[in-house]
Amino acid sequence: MNKVEKVLIGVFGLGICVYLAECIDRGMRYGFSGGFLDYITYPIFSAYGLILAVSVIGLITLFIVHAIVKRRKKRELRITRTDKIWFAISFLPAALLLLYGLYSAIAGVDFLWSKCYGFEGFIVAVVFGGILIIPVLPLCIIWQIIYLTGRHKAKKAEKELSL
């Protein structure tokens, strides 16, 4: 890793530490009697949640770019087991969003001044859940495209070597 990547890891790590410090400070200030989950979920919907989201997305992007550059320097054209695992994991946010939509269709979801069930509850949950995790979905799609093009190139190179 070069110096810029190390500095970015430090900055993004500091952002995560700021978020955790706010959770702990809020818990100490108001007491942990309401459950620690309340003190974790409150900052998610504040400026600290934005800091956490940017930091996590930045770290994920930094590690993916580093892996791509490292592989490109080696001129490797093969798909590793790690690539397959990351490809499978990249479907997880979309799957969780659909599961949340199905749960909301059955159990209902509060929207404005009413509770929505069925198809309407599913749509509301998926749209608003998608808005909350919108930065994660494009990164997952980008990784899937990179994986599929790399796999195509690897199979093409393998065919040429076997001929």
**In this structure, are 162 and 82 located in the same domain?**
yes
In terms of domains, do 1 and 67 share one? yes
The total number of structural domains in the chain stands at 2
Choosing from 49, 76, 103, the residue where a domain stops is 76
130: confidence class by pLDDT, cuts 50, 70, 90: confident
- What does the pLDDT read at residue 160? 76
Quote the distance between the C-alpha of residue 17 and its chain's center. Answer: 18
- Domain shared by 134 and 155, yes or no: yes
Q: Answer whether residue 56 shows pLDDT above 80.
A: yes
Q: What pLDDT is recorded for position 41?
A: 57
User: How much is the pLDDT for 28?
Assistant: 64
Q: Around Cβ 150, how many Cβ atoms within 10 Å?
A: 19
- Average pLDDT for the chain: 77
Averaged pLDDT, 101-109: 87
Among 40-49, 75-84, 147-156, which is the least confidently predicted range?
Answer: 40-49
Residues 140 and 106 in one domain: yes
pLDDT tens profile 88-100: 888 888 888 888 8
Which domain does 97 fall in, by range?
78-163
